[in-house]
Amino acid sequence: MRFKALIVLLVVAITLLASIALATNFGTKKRMPRPQEFGNVIINNYSEKNNIAPVVFKHWIHRTKYTCRVCHVDVGFAMEAGGSDIKEEDNKNGLYCGSCHNGKEAFAATAREKLVTEVQNCDRCHSYGKEVKNQKDFNEYLKDFPQARFGNRIDWMKAEATGRIKLKDLVEGISMKRQAIAAPKDFDIKSTILGMPDIIFSHKIHAEINGCELCHPEVFGAKKGVTKYSMQDIFAGKYCGSCHAKVAFPFYDCQLCHLKEVY
């Protein structure tokens, strides 16, 4: 009996050690976010400390209206959740969220619509852990958008190319009017994995949405080839991973980037 018990304990111990080893070497499998959750950012620098629900920032709503450059360059939001250290006073003074949520460009922090109380208006942003009915329902609002396989399941580039959405690249009083510059030509990024097609990087697509300033020089050096990185760096949220898998489409479909045919 003791021998059998010892064998059982040994098997359990080996199983636990194997699980730990697998988790250490290959990571822990996480639940894939639902389409309406993909790209959501929880902002909680000060909310819970002040007994207020954290903000759930929904990228999908904002990306139907604005380029990424407007928020992350002109308005000045950091690329990491919580990195801007936003305070309510900042918003009231017309900074960060308050740049647009002023009652003119978008709804203000103070309720002005009929049948909307002050508390209900706060809940429109401070919605973490609450059942809040938004004015725009994800499935209803995006039902006629071109479909994609991953992320929000929306082909945002096609939606813009076909005129389904028209993105604003300037907010009065915030953005600086500037002359457009010619986007550099597309170029190949060589794959280091045998049989994997090279990447065809489109400057035009990225420049229209991000501008040059969002990527250069902080994420990528200004000169081609000076920034060295690997897929592991990208998977870790650096370089291309600064946007992809967080807000832009994730990495599950390799052929969205690795386009060039292998001969």
Provide the phi-psi class of 63: left if phi over 0, else alpha when psi is between -120 and 50, else beta. alpha
Q: pLDDT tens digits for 49-86?
A: 999 999 999 999 999 999 999 999 999 999 988 899 99
CB burial string 45-73: b at 16+ within 10 A, e below:
eebeeeeebbbbbbbbbbbbebbbbbbbb
| Cβ count within 10 A of residue 210 | 19
> pLDDT tens digit string along 236-261?
999 999 999 999 999 988 889 998 87
69/75 Cα distance (integer angstroms):
9
Evaluate whether 65 touches 168 at the Cβ level (below 8 Å). Answer: yes
More confident residue, 132 or 39: 39
Residue 25 has pLDDT above 70, yes or no: no
Between residues 103 and 9, the one the model is more confident about:
103
Task: Give residue 180's pLDDT band: very low, low, confident or very high (50, 70, 90).
Answer: confident
What domains are defined for the chain? Answer: 28-177 (3.90.10.10), 179-263 (3.90.10.10)
List, in sequence order, the alpha helices (H) in the chain.
2-26, 59-62, 68-69, 88-92, 118-123, 138-141, 156-161, 203-210, 231-235
Tell me the per-residue pLDDT of 96-145, one tens digit each, with 9 for 90 and over.
Answer: 999 999 989 998 877 665 556 666 788 999 999 998 888 899 999 999 99
pLDDT of residue 21: 47
pLDDT of residue 11: 46
Supply the pLDDT for residue 8: 46
CB neighbours of 3 closer than 8 A, spacing ≥ 6? none
Q: What is the pLDDT of residue 242?
A: 94
Residue found under tokens 């002023």: 102
In the predicted model, is pLDDT for residue 7 greater than 70? no
pTM reported for the whole predicted model: 0.81
pLDDT of residue 262: 64
Q: How confident is the model at residue 30 (pLDDT cuts 50, 70, 90)?
A: confident
